[in-house]
Structure 1
Amino acid sequence: MSSPLSNYFSAVGIKRLSQVEVDSTLSNQHEFNGTNVFRRIFGTEKRKFTAKFISLTDEEEDVLESDGFLTWYDSRENHPTRSEFRLYYSDTPVIAGAKVNDLLVIGKTSNDNIAVIVAPKNSTSEKQLLWLFGVEEADSKFVIKDFTEDKKDIGFAGRYILSSLGMEQKESASAYIDGLLERFGHKFPTTKEFSDYSRSTVKDVFPIESPDETLMAWLEREEMLFRALEGVIVKEQLKKGFGIDGSDVDEFIKLSLSVQNRRKSRAGHSFEHNLAILFSFNNVLYSHGTITERNNKPDFIFPGIAEYRDDSFQVNLLTMLGVKTTAKDRWRQVLAEARKIDHKHLITLEPSISNNQIEEMKANNLQLVIPAPLFNTYSNTQQKDLFTVKEFIDMVFFKQKQLLSS
């Protein structure tokens, strides 16, 4: 099912925050500057919008959300010839914590509410937003993008970025529901069981010839099927209510947290399971989830943990691959794993990582591996520093051939 941006936003305005907008010592007007261009979106009548304020960072746990409102009005409404439209915002910690030159996105959502999104300058979050909305760069003036007629599918990368904003659209999996329930009933299987089943429903993929595209097809299908099964199971739990009287708040929160934690855990394990199958298809030797020094547990060691623990084995023939569905602040975790291997590899599904982070990875001898279908979210210059999945497999297999021929 196609997921165009118009399913989420009818239009957005993008700019960089100025000092007068974020410095309370200069202005307490709570207004964004240069908003006359929003007449194309908001019209000319005074309106008050419910707004969700979102502050994104490259630290996963630091995403801040708050509810508020925006008021659109003409400050010269009574002037006979002039108009000056302004956008007033309510007090919110998101704007209070923003800095000069941070990226500001004001989007009118498909349900006629407003999303106000702030991302730090030069961050991965900023780069992802610019890519998502098709803007090369932003300055102090609003750039308006109208998506009402947009029908282009945003793909995996677009859905990934929108999910970080709490915006997710259900994909139709009606053709698979009966098979899911027949196979698993109304309970969650193990992640490996679910990955195996999900892959069996994907046809016309070529894990040897096109490992990048195959991996993404497997992952996208599994995500769709999992959300479908989750929808059935969680809906039943919601109908039953919570606690003795059906309205126990603590029990509801407990369910909500379990859903979120299961999603995160399943996504990471699914990524690893599907990579393991892909490596096996390509006759690549590996160990998965074994322990190295200081009780570290790298995701993959090539050709295996036995070779890694053999002090006589050539270190240059060893490879380590860390697996992270999201990179952001988590990529540093892999640096401490597999001490014997200086030059490490990390595969992630994170689109459009910032130049700063990629340079920092390079400085720490970490090679980034990105599935080829996500390459278009990176600049041409950045792409030169990335490995595709196929390139990684070819590199490991070449080392393996050296080992077998020696």
Structure 2
Amino acid sequence: LEQRIGRVDRIGQPHVVRAINFVLEDTVEHRVREVLEAKLAVIAQEFGVDKAADVMDSAEVEPIFDELFVHGLQDPASIDKECDAVINQVRGKVAASRKDTDLLTEDHALEADDARKWRDHPAQYWLERAITAGLPARGGAAEKVGDAWRVKWADGSESPRVCFDARTAEQNPEMDWITLEDPRARAIISELPRCVAGQPLPIAAVTGLPDTVHDGVWSLWEVSLSASNLAESFNRRRFLPVFVTDDGRTFVPTARRIWDLLLTENVTLAPKVEVESARASFETSLTAAKAQGERIFGKLLEEHRSWLAEERERARYAFEARYQAIGRIGLPAVREHRRKRLEAEFDARMAALADAEGCTPDLNAVLMIRIGHLGGAQA
């Protein structure tokens, strides 16, 4: 009968199809249904979602209801007791079903100390430096006006009063607080430049660098690993500072020290740039970056493989949970159709993860400058 009603609804006729079940009053069926609906309403209120329809259509609990009606016919006085037993079973199944739907949710305790730590993180200061120094090269501008910045963004829009510090934003609610969540800010820091062989090198002196540091070339390299054949496109990258002295020696601690000073101290540029030895300096730095970046690439590869393993495990777990859920709800033909569709989705996901095992490494120079003593330099 259910299938006939469904066909009438699907043949293209314009009328709404309604199926109405009639129950005779003062019968065992009416009494059982009355008690069940009242108790199922309690379950709906308890779990916050109306699970009555799912439960009544479930093939898994159908024998339970059949047995309930049989017992009601045999002993009408025990209907309430039998209904309580059935409701307890239904409550357990609804709880299990709800648990399956919450597989991906996790509870995270919010700690004030963690929020305070992020508020004091220097990332906002770095963002301020990146935007105020990077906008002029992208057709924008940034001008300091009191405690605020007047910013003209690369897209032509303007912000008359912005700040980057959380405390300044708290004290001046009329200012726009620019964070990493702002798409205009993300556009600036995500489009990193690339240095190429032969590109002239700026000559700079960095405040705070010991005099014992020899002249040389400092460079920042982006080590990346990507597998773009997936919908979510796995992409990981790390940054590697490299310092090579003029006599060909590399110093890892000095490279990191220069990187820190570039973020916090004043940088003085010479009025001229290095052109003649720029190509040779690039090749020397590239060789050092390849040697030092091999360890970073190995870690990225381990992360990629761990991510693939986690995605496979998550896909299998979700497949099994959904497969079991399909077996509990709907008509046999509908369940079989849903199983086939689920299996096709699972096979496609596993095939995509298998293809993602092939990944592409990349190494690019983001910044390259000559560190040395300046003559007639300007800040």
TM-score by length of 2: 0.21
Higher relative contact order at CA 8 Å, sep ≥6: structure 1 or structure 2?
2
TM-score by length of 1: 0.20
Higher helix proportion, which one? 2
Larger Rg: 2
